[in-house]
A = this chain, B = another copy of it.
Amino acid sequence: MKRTITHLADGREMIYFDRRDDADRSAVDTRVLPPRPPASELRYDPLLDEWVAVAGHRQSRTFLPPAAECPLCPSAPGRQTEIPSTEYDVAVFENRFPSFSFHVGDYDQPGGLSEVRPGLGRCEVVCFTSEHGSSFAALSPEQVDLVLTAWADRTAELAELPGVEQVFCFENRGAEIGITLSHPHGQIYAYPYVTPRTRQMLASAERYRERTGGNLFADVLAAERKAEIRVIASNDHWTAFVPAAARWPFEVHVYLNRQVPDLCALDAEERAAFGPLYTDVLRRLDGLFGVAMPYVAAWHQAPVRSGRDLAYLHLELFSIRRAPEKLKYLAGSESAMGAFVNDVLPEEAARLLRSQDDR
């Protein structure tokens, strides 16, 4: 594996991850780019005790361009994209429209009971493959392994940046879920705070440890493996199951069979075993209704400085599609009260996903 760091025309970092050690990454970005936008502001919400990022510049970000103008495809003669090379394996670069960055702009105190601070941090784009029409589900095991290597590399490096408290690797897929570029890609957010849901999960895990002495995530995994009914797929290193209290019509959690804090701790065997299992789960998801399913795939990693003994690396995958023509929307109960109503029984979702074997 070869890793090459270079820079784009406006100074953003670009990192290539190559299977071949002789890959040539000398191509230069000769575009004339506008200056990078300032960092967002973080506003404190005293009612929910959470930080909210406000990033006005993102209103103008690139929105579903035609394939011939895709900024994530390799460059070609006469057309320079975000990736200077004319081919690549996996490419990672700083987002041009970041929610968090180290380019601090001007801002005022907003008044009220809120306070504001700069949205320091970093947002990166991860191109999973140079093939525009592909998908994560279609990646080869070797390619998934390389993506995992890139995610782990970025997790370790971003955790070293000043003030970064949590690194979040994720993929949003599908126009129905709001993606603005269709090329297979994910994103990485390096947050300057521990995110609300992670904080909530670690608080649960802390209380659970005080009460039982055990690790909450490990015990959930063990109980699901024992119950079997919601397990979709498993191998020596990973288990994929529908959680018993799923919030979404089709939701699958993929756990490593041992507790580690983050992707950096995976060994070569675990990395190699992930791709076949996960792409199988993704293909089952796409098989449900015979259409490419919109989804969010979210790696839950330990924060940089807290809860590292409690956290448990796992991926949470969910789709908002509940039927061929119907989506699950977050309306009043979910958005305003955080009270989820799921229209699909988790055991039925598991049965449907498992039965894709027979196709």
- Which A residues form the contact surface with B (CB < 8 A)? 40, 43-56, 58-59, 63, 99, 110-114, 168, 170-172, 177-179, 187, 189, 191, 195-198, 200-201, 203-205, 207-208, 216-217, 219-220, 223-224, 226-227, 229-230, 243-247, 296-298, 300, 316, 318, 322-323, 326-333, 335-348
Contacts and interface: CB of A to CB of B under 8 A. Distances in A.
A55 B198 CA distance: 27
Given A53-B341, A296-B331, A335-B296, A347 B48 contact: no
A101 B217 CA distance: 32
18 contacts: A44-B245, A46-B216, A46-B220, A49-B200, A49-B204, A50-B245, A50-B340, A53-B342, A54-B345, A55-B342, A56-B348, A58-B341, A111-B223, A113-B219, A177-B331, A178-B329, A197-B336, A298-B336
Given A112-B220, A245-B52, A332 B40 contact: no
Contacts of A171: 332
B195 A338 contact: yes
A82 B178 CA distance: 36
Contacts of A333: 99, 168, 170, 189, 195
Contacts of A48: 197, 200-201, 204
A interface, by DSSP: helix, strand, loop or mixed?
mixed
Interface centre among A55, A219, A224, A247 (most CB of B within 10 A): A247
A336 B296 contact: yes
Q: Which of A47, A48, A172, A197 has the most C-beta atoms of chain B within 10 angstroms of its own C-beta?
A: A47
